[in-house]
Amino acid sequence: MTDPGDREAGGACTNHGPVPLLNEQIAERLRAGGLDPAPVSALVAAALAEDLAGGADVTTAATVPAGARGQADVVARGAGVVAGLPVAEAAFWLASPDGQVECTPHASDGEPVAPGQSVLTVIGPVGALLTAERTALNLLCHLSGVATLTRQWADAIAGTQARIRDTRKTTPGLRALEKYAVRCGGGVNHRMALSDAALIKDNHVAAAGSVSAAFAAVRAQAPGLPLEVECDTLEQVAEALAAGADLILLDNFAIADMSAAVALAAGRALLEASGGLTLSRASAVAATGVDYLAVGALTHSAPALDFGLDLRPPG
């Protein structure tokens, strides 16, 4: 059974101002990952503006000769999975006042990287490279951390039918990028927004009076929308199945109850385990036969994967 709620490509945030233009090579690398270059460009431009706060990079302006051009390498300081290279490229490109920056990636998003490995070479005005350094690295380190943690979860359930899926527990403004990083790590996306799929949770059930009443209300208002029902008990699972649910979230179920829910569903609905999941018990959860493990930690608790920018000496 295919879940229409799966999201394999990132959504786009809205932008109401002028969008800084990226060169076509960077824009195409973003599109290849399912990202819209316009909102990514706007987000990166805002991050650069935040760092400058309406002023100048005083340290760089004092130490870098005017007109100096140079070359720098973005180098992994730890082992993991890289994600966000074209986003980092966008930061260097937008920081250059004339766009005269050349970016050469040496890895692709989703690939493993080792300490000391150069993943990106950037040639351009030294002042622009140093001004963009922190913005580029902040985004690259965070997104690579999300991809690295996702890969750990995906590896933990390898050999089962289950897949690792993210949640809406994302950093405000970074959802499309964080969900992209999840895909780079081997996970799949849940809904991008409240409007593109419905998820009936305990508070909706309380408001409607029952699982079946909440299900009927959503189906009546949005008949074609993907609809998932959160259940706290096996009795609620049976009620959701009777209502016609084709996707059920098992909230904080014990392993034995997950297995019972799988037997109860008997293929009539996809099942997603959620709540209290840990990497150490991911394999056992997946072995029950559930289809997804929903892991909010992928985006809200991923440690950054460290990268640095090494400016090559002139000459």
Tens digit of each residue's pLDDT (9 = 90 or more) over 178-233 = 999 999 999 999 999 999 999 999 999 999 999 999 999 999 999 989 999 999 99
- Classify domain 155-300 at the CATH topology level: TIM Barrel (3.20.20)
Domain boundaries, the chain: 24-150+302-311, 155-300
Instruction: Please report the pLDDT score of residue 298 as a whole number.
Output: 98
Annotated catalytic residue: which of 230, 239, 246, 291? 230
Q: Any catalytic annotation for residue 169?
A: yes
Distance, in Å, from the CA atom of 19 to the CA atom of 63, rounded to the nearest integer, reads 31
> Residue 99: what pLDDT?
75
Inter-CA distances, 16 with 27, 80, 172, 314, Å: 19, 36, 17, 42
| Lowest pLDDT segment from 97-106, 227-236, 245-254 | 97-106
Of the residues 31, 77, 168, 201, which is catalytic?
A: 201
- CATH fold of 24-150+302-311, please? Aldehyde Oxidoreductase; domain 3 (3.90.1170)
Mean pLDDT of the chain: 92
Using alpha carbons, select from 246, 171, 183 the residue that is nearest to residue 215.
246
Q: What is the β-pairing status of strands 80-81 and 227-231?
A: unpaired
CA–CA separation, 155 vs 185, rounded Å? 10
Q: Which residues, listed in sequence order, are joined to residue 216 by a DSSP beta bridge? A: none
251 is catalytic: yes
Percent of the chain at pLDDT > 90 equals: 88
The residues pairing with 271 across neighbouring beta strands, listed in sequence order, are 248
Q: State the catalytic residue, choosing from 134, 168, 202, 219.
A: 134
Q: Tell me which residue of 178, 190, 150 sits closest to 6, measured CA to CA.
A: 190
Give the active site residue among 228, 251, 272, 291.
251
* pLDDT given at position 14: 36
pLDDT bracket for residue 8 (50, 70, 90) = very low
Residue 249's pLDDT band (boundaries 50, 70, 90)? very high
Higher model confidence: residue 5 or residue 243? 243
pLDDT for position 227: 93
Whether pTM > 0.85 for this model: the answer is yes
Q: State the SS3 of 83-100.
A: CCHHHHHHHHHHHCCCCC
The reply to whether domains 24-150+302-311 and 155-300 share a CATH topology is no
Alpha-carbon gap, residue 52 to 66, rounded angstroms: 18
- Note the pLDDT of residue 294: 98
Cα 183 to Cα 167: distance, rounded to the nearest angstrom: 13
Tell me which residue of 170, 137, 180 sits closest to 304, measured CA to CA.
137
How many whole angstroms separate alpha carbon 315 and alpha carbon 313?
7
